[in-house]
Structure 1
């Protein structure tokens, strides 16, 4: 995710696909369901980001005022919202570095955002869920470092939950499910993570394209519905982050809806070994499609709960 006012060459004319902006706004609307330890942004290899502004600062300025405004009212009715959610710019944003499988990562001194997750793993007793919305460079460096320094026990405390890093049905093929954008972004990192998951060293939940072809494809259609979100600043970001084909594209949101266990698909429907066969993907896609209207109505309910009586 990055500032969509930075022009680029993708299909939206932006550097990075702004669907992540809508997905992040949706996450913040649901944030009382989670204990958010930190969010890393602009984990990207785009050359434009070598000189772009600090994206951690941009994200903070873009989301946090809207989030605080939302929590000020919604927090009276829905308990558990953290007053402090922090964003950090990715350590690879300016370097564009990709994972080198032949390298042993024995130090994290040059990888601040990776180190921040490593430090959490050292101190946390509970399981940490790492939601992967794009490049797998940083997760791969973390895993390599833990293996290289004989700290694989820390990896037992983390679950990697990835959106669309393979799909036998969409973009990819049954023969080459890895031929999808999020895996190609850093193919070596993607292959490494899948290899370690197959070995049982890490837990890697591959969702495939169920967010795009389930939650998004099954969504309510039309501006009349989505204009209702614009009554709040955070809802407006959700509705306008990426609005295409008469609905909001927030496909990466599948990574957090599966954690909530009651919205069609949960982690128990997905193997932790990084695999994703066509039958499983299709079934979970259909489940999310059936639950999509309820998911969007829950987001809208929360927007309405953030409105003061005078509004």
Structure 2
């Protein structure tokens, strides 16, 4: 099978490219800057409404679309919304239409659980159905892209598969999860001992496993899948799991949730406080039943691999 993977130098795309190659897939990677290795197997281009893909899509069986624009610092809301639409919506649909015209059979789209929303109420996890259009600009752009892809599928017969992951962690993780690793590494007391929320996450290799399944499984066509480790955990529980894997002291202060949210709000970090305290659970029953798939790596093993890589990279600094 010949697969074009976009965003192939990113956190998810890079791992997909590696594991798919090991499994014998014929890979063509897209990125804004072409790596020096395997140069003949890469295309260097941006993704927008004007990108020309026809030569790239020759004899491609499946497109795995990981590339997306995410939040950038120091930009206006209007600029951000326009760029989300240009890259995440128009760029995606431009690629999909050209893929359909080129005879590509399947289009696997890496969306986001933000399409469903930012949080869930107790015992009411997200399912593939969406109750309302997301208000977050990034989530809204992914939702718009999903709807456009489904329209293209109806018009052309292109098999569209949508995957909505929550927070993805694993070796090489950056951003908020990397910050969490550094907090635990310092062994400083953290004010999160009273947080009893429940959150779903997905280990990188579990996500890649599902993406690979969606490239070939006939039951994936036309479906929307939620994905997680199938193991929900509280913020304080997550920190304890990381501390155990890191062999660091686990020091949590039982500060009331309302105080934490107030402090975060006063510091201009209201969204951080909400994320630390709120629940976000995914029900992946449909994914498991439709595909006969289960996450191959346990949550504890995923945390251990992530921590081991963090400590290894730290030792190189």
Q: TM-score, normalised by structure 1?
A: 0.44
Greater CA radius of gyration, 1 or 2?
2
Structure with the higher fraction of residues in strand conformation: 2
